[in-house]
Amino acid sequence: MKITSAEFVTSAVKPPHYPAGELPEVALAGRSNVGKSSLLNKLINRKRLARTSNTPGRTRLINFFLVNGIFHLVDLPGYGYARVPVGERDSWRKMIESYLKTRPNLKGVLLLVDSRHPPTAMDLQMYGWLKFRGLPAAVAATKADKLSRSRLLQSLRVIRAELALAEGDALIPFSAETGQGREELLEVINR
Ligand code: GDP
């Protein structure tokens, strides 16, 4: 798939604020600071359409981007940022859950995990929950440029094993620095 256009549509907290219409959607989920904004920007070839920052947990809304005029990429708020008060964390969880549960447009979820670390408890919970809901999922292992080739392969094995990736669920090493994995991710999203 080639990206010919990408634009920000809207931010939403609740279902009534989601964009109207029936365009298919692919959502991006992952813990804060996993590299979600960087991945999104790289996918759509923009420097700053999705905000990147060194302050984890800044993106607190569900952000909808229209791609090629035919589908939405949906940036879900990053989870698991420790310095956020419990009450706020709870409201994030509800925000993410109600999107994943109620949105008929949703066709699949791209879960981002950090290639340098084993999946966190919340990554495991998220992946398990997606499978439980029967949502097609793919996993991107971010910041792949930070590992040597052999460490990366080792790490991918750990991620695949710990998440118990279902047959057919892709695990794609990705780097926003080098563009590694970009074509593959676009293919998975297209599917
Ligand atoms: P988000 O909170 O998940 O949206 O994460 P960001 O995209 O803001 O990235 C968090 C930090 O990781 C930033 O300092 C990024 O520059 C860095 N980062 C993100 N992706 C990559 C990557 O592929 N390679 C490297 N080396 N750093 C990355």
Q: Say yes or no: CB of residue 108 within 6 Å of ligand 1.
A: no
Residue 157 CB burial class (10 angstroms; 0-12, 13-18, ≥19): exposed
* C-alpha 54 to ligand 1 mean position (Å): 8
CATH architecture, domain defined by 6-190: 3-Layer(aba) Sandwich (3.40)
H helices, E strands: number in the chain: 5, 7
Q: Which atom of ligand 1 is nearest to the CA of 36?
A: 3
Q: Does ipTM top 0.85?
A: yes
User: Which tens digits make up the pLDDT trace of 88-119?
Assistant: 777 888 899 999 999 999 999 999 999 999 99
Q: Say yes or no: CB of residue 34 within 6 Å of ligand 1.
A: yes
Q: What ranges do the domains of the chain cover?
A: 6-190
User: Which tens digits make up the pLDDT trace of 6-64?
Assistant: 999 999 999 999 999 999 999 999 998 999 999 999 999 877 676 654 444 445 789 99
| Protein residue whose Cα sits closest to atom 8 of ligand 1 | 52
In this prediction the pTM is: 0.93
